[in-house]
């Protein structure tokens, strides 16, 4: 009878340890940071307004992102052609980034953005810290 109790107790302990390990793995996977990269082409003679930048940065911050303010930085080609401008945003997760770019807040800013620049491509990259 003691053997049955020992086997049962070992089985339950093993399940508890395995369950904890799975939870730990899920927590690690959920913590991957992400960066969105937008390659932009300014439209001739147009500029992005200060109010658009303020509104866009506020919307990004509200969606758990941090604009790295690279849009006016110098882009230096190392291999291949470089886009004229690059906008990079750091996100808590790829899910946050994707949700933002599908959000009403981002869509609402589109008319102002499209007056000044063309988006060549935009993508999200996940990376471990």
Q: What is the pLDDT of residues 76-107, one digit of tens each?
A: 999 999 999 999 999 999 999 999 999 999 99
Q: What is the pLDDT of residues 18-65, one digit of tens each?
A: 766 666 566 555 579 999 999 999 999 888 899 999 999 999 999 999
Q: Are residues 26 and 36 in the same domain?
A: no
Q: Are residues 67 and 122 in the same domain?
A: yes
Q: Which two tokens stand for residue 39?
A: 């390659």
Q: Are residues 38 and 22 in the same domain?
A: no
CATH number at residue 46: 3.30.70.100
Secondary structure letter of residue 82 according to DSSP = P
Q: Which two tokens stand for residue 24?
A: 């730990």
DSSP per residue, 54-92: HHHHHHHHHTTEEE---TTS----SSSPPPSEEEEEEES
Q: Are residues 4 and 51 in the same domain?
A: no
Q: How many CA atoms lie within 13 A of 118 on its CB side?
A: 7
């Amino acid at each position: 009878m003691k053997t049955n109790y020992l086997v049962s107790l070992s089985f339950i302990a093993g399940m508890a340890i395995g369950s904890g390990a799975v939870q730990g793995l899920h927590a690690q996977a959920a913590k991957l940071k992400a960066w969105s990269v937008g390659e932009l082409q300014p439209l001739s003679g147009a500029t992005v307004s200060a109010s658009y930048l303020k509104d866009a940065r506020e919307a990004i911050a509200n969606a758990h992102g941090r604009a790295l303010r690279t849009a006016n930085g110098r882009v230096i080609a190392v291999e291949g052609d470089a886009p004229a401008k690059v906008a990079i945003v750091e996100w808590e997760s790829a899910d946050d980034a994707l949700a933002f770019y599908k959000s009403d807040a981002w869509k609402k800013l589109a008319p102002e953005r499209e007056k000044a620049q063309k988006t060549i491509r935009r993508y999200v990259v996940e990376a471990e810290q």
